[in-house]
Amino acid sequence: MRSVVLVVLQFALLGALALPWPTQSWNDAGWVLLAAGGALGLWALAANRPGNFNVRPDPKPTGRLVTCGPYRFVRHPMYAAVLLFAAGLCVGLDGSWRWIVFAALAAVLHTKARIEERAMMSMHDGYAAYAQRTKRIVPFVW
């Protein structure tokens, strides 16, 4: 149940960032962040292979540990992609209140990552070593 609530919160916060969609024009930085988030998300999906990915922070029982592609640099590239996309919405749609929603989204994704990592630690023998050599969401930082 907790996992479902976190996913609902994640999508609700993303929706709040995107709406109301303004009629004003976007700035280039917003588009760049949206594109970067989309590209990173597609790269992570390609590396993760169909059937292994789960939107909930509950790893699939038959899932395997992926350490290639963007997973070489961070343990949760999909969450990084969501944050890049959300930052693009904040920058492109120009509203200081959006950064508060962004912070809430980052907290939800951090919580999801911690839940997922506890499960991955018990499922995969190599996860502890992998976690030591990679950052959680932002390469070299976090």
Q: Is residue 78 part of a domain?
A: yes
Domain that holds residue 82: 70-142
Q: What is the value of pTM for the model shown?
A: 0.92
Q: Are 83 and 34 in contact (CB under 8 A)?
A: no
Q: Is the confidence at residue 23, as pLDDT, over 70?
A: no
Q: How far apart are CA 75 and CA 66, in angstroms?
A: 9
* Residue-level pLDDT at 24: 67
Q: Is residue 137 part of a domain?
A: yes
Angle at 61 between CA 85 and CA 55, to 5 degrees: 20
Q: Is the confidence at residue 51, as pLDDT, over 80?
A: no
User: What's the whole-number average pLDDT of the chain?
Assistant: 92
pLDDT band of residue 21 (cuts 50, 70, 90) is low
Q: Is residue 3 part of a domain?
A: no
Find the length of the chain.
142
Q: Is the confidence at residue 20, as pLDDT, over 80?
A: no
Beta carbons within 8 Å of 106's beta carbon, 6+ residues apart: 83
Q: How far apart are CA 109 and CA 87, in angstroms?
A: 14
Q: Is the confidence at residue 120, as pLDDT, over 80?
A: yes
Beta carbons within 8 Å of 117's beta carbon, 6+ residues apart: 75, 127, 131, 136
How many distinct structural domains can be found in the chain?
A: 1
